[in-house]
Chains A and B, each alone.
Chain A
Amino acid sequence: MREKIVEIENLCKHYDKPAGLFSKERIFALDNLNLYIKRGDIFGLLGPNGAGKTTMLNIISGLTRQSSGQVRVLGDNSGLRPKLKKFEIGYLSEENVLPDYLSLQELLSFLANIFGFNSQLRAKRIGWLSEQLELASFINKRIQNLSAGQKRLAGLACAFINDPQLLILDEPTVYLDPLGARKLADLISSFKDQGKTVIISSHILSQVEKLCGQVAILKRGKLMFYGDIKTLGSKGSLEDSFIELTTD
């Protein structure tokens, strides 16, 4: 039995939005979610825009606090402080924002130092990433001079730098060309083979279908489906099921 690497119980996240002079309207970004992700899974998080996918990923990665409920990340290490957990987590945000005044080489070196790598390990890791994501042609260029696709690859390299146990990718293939998307898919598959866990939020259903074993579909913060992707696609195509679950 594989251990549960992420356990979510009764997770709620709400925001209070001003509605008039003295009243506030409570908006639920996430409403009473219950799910778990096992070690070695590639987990897909689907949902229309504004469903709460990014909020959920931010909570799992420790960037945002939940309003109520329990989130246990990295199984037995649940007692660790969030900062220490981040040594085991790789995170790629939806927004493609990186410190653009640095070259990619400088940025990766900075991150390697933050993760406490010695110079030998740093060079080895950057070399490996450069080879896997084909960064060599632009690794010494300033990030502000890179194309959107190259910036996305740079963001992915930053997420992979610490060889994480749990990789959280929010819309990873945005801006990537088909070749880049293929390379990323291969990298994620090899990641799974090493017994590591990946959570992907994506709008590209074919990609999710190809990579993920388990999926969750969110709609306005509510869990509409959670389980094996084969069960979801059994009544027709994944796209049909997705549309059926997410339209009013």
Chain B
Amino acid sequence: MKNIFELARLTIKMSLGLTFMIFSIISALFVLSSVMYFTMPQLNRFNLEAPSVNAAAMGVSTINIFLIFFSVFFAFSVLSRQFSRESLLFLLSKPLDRSQVLLGSSLGLMFVFLLYWLILSLEVAAIISIFDKSYLFNALNALVPVVLLIPLYTSLCIFLFSLWPNILCAAFVFLFIFTSIARFDIITLVSQVNLAWFTKLIEASFLLLPPVGQVMGISLKALGLTDASINIPQVILNSIFIFVFLHLLGARRILRAFSNL
């Protein structure tokens, strides 16, 4: 166990570099733009919600979308560095085994995602508390469930990395998850132009990864943007199931691929 934490520390050190900083700054700027809902009240006329609701909703969706970008493009580069033949040759010549390297990388990545989520969530909370302190509790209730997406995205990256460890796959993952999350909007949009096959494709991707949509449902409910009944323990269980399932599947393939250097 100690070795796994040491490897996780190694992954964190590898991750917290310039790319992490650039990603954080860009996404922080996007989150910051939610201030516009308070400074330009005419923006709220589109959906007739209060500025704090719109600002919090924008914060939550920005975190989620950037988390996808971040997990896909960032996690893939970290995994491909850690699981290169040369890097493994070095690590495995020490008293470490392949499964420890994989678990350490996964744990390290989850910590980096958590740090990223924390930075952006604090920013959203700060914005809400500056402009409308009374709405802070709701905003926090919407931000916390996003944590559930971190292990989900990590396991998805590991699984897809095991299938096809290159950036094309990363792009595929991005489309896959993005369509899962944005399914309602896209389905509405697409059904108007009557592209039934596309709607089915999106629905199928939603079926493959239901917890992502469900987690976002919890956040939207906390903001009062949906009346749908959501069974939170069930969502947590689904997330854990998908996390474990994808992790095991990915781990099995990666460990097999590197069983003989």
Contacts and interface: CB of A to CB of B under 8 A. Distances in A.
B14 interface: yes
Contacts of A158: 90
Contacts of B13: 101-102, 106
Contacts, number: 56
A102 B90 CA distance: 14
A141 interface: no
Contacts of A106: 13
B228 interface: no
Contacts of B94: 86, 111, 114-115
B10 interface: yes
Interface stretch (A57-65, A208-216, A238-246): A57-65
A97 B6 contact: no
Contacts of B261: 58, 63-64
A93 B93 CA distance: 9
A64 B259 CA distance: 8
Interface string B167-207: 00000000000000000000000000000000000000000
A95 B93 contact: no
A98 B133 CA distance: 50
A63 B97 CA distance: 10
Most buried by B among A87, A89, A101: A101
B95 interface: yes
Given A64-B260, A93-B90, A95-B86, A101 B14 contact: yes
Contacts of A111: 94
Contacts of A91: 93
Contacts of A97: 86-87, 89-90
Contacts of A93: 86, 89-90, 93
Contacts of A87: 95
A18 interface: no
B21 interface: no
Contacts of A140: none
A84 interface: yes
Nearest to B3: A114
Contacts of A101: 13-14, 17
A128 interface: no
A115 B86 CA distance: 21
A115 B6 CA distance: 11
Contacts of B96: 83, 114
B238 to A, nearest CB: 36
B2 interface: yes
A84 B86 CA distance: 22
Contacts of A236: none
Interface string A57-80: 010010111000000000000000
B215 to A, nearest CB: 32
Given A93-B86, A101-B14, 6 more contacts: A63-B93, A91-B93, A93-B90, A102-B10, A111-B94, A114-B94
Interface of A: 58, 61, 63-65, 83-84, 86-87, 89, 91, 93, 95, 97-99, 101-102, 106, 110-111, 113-116, 158
18 contacts: A61-B93, A63-B89, A64-B260, A83-B95, A86-B93, A86-B95, A87-B95, A91-B93, A97-B86, A97-B87, A101-B14, A102-B10, A111-B94, A113-B6, A114-B3, A114-B94, A115-B95, A116-B2
Interface of B: 2-3, 6, 9-10, 13-14, 17, 86-87, 89-90, 92-97, 259-261
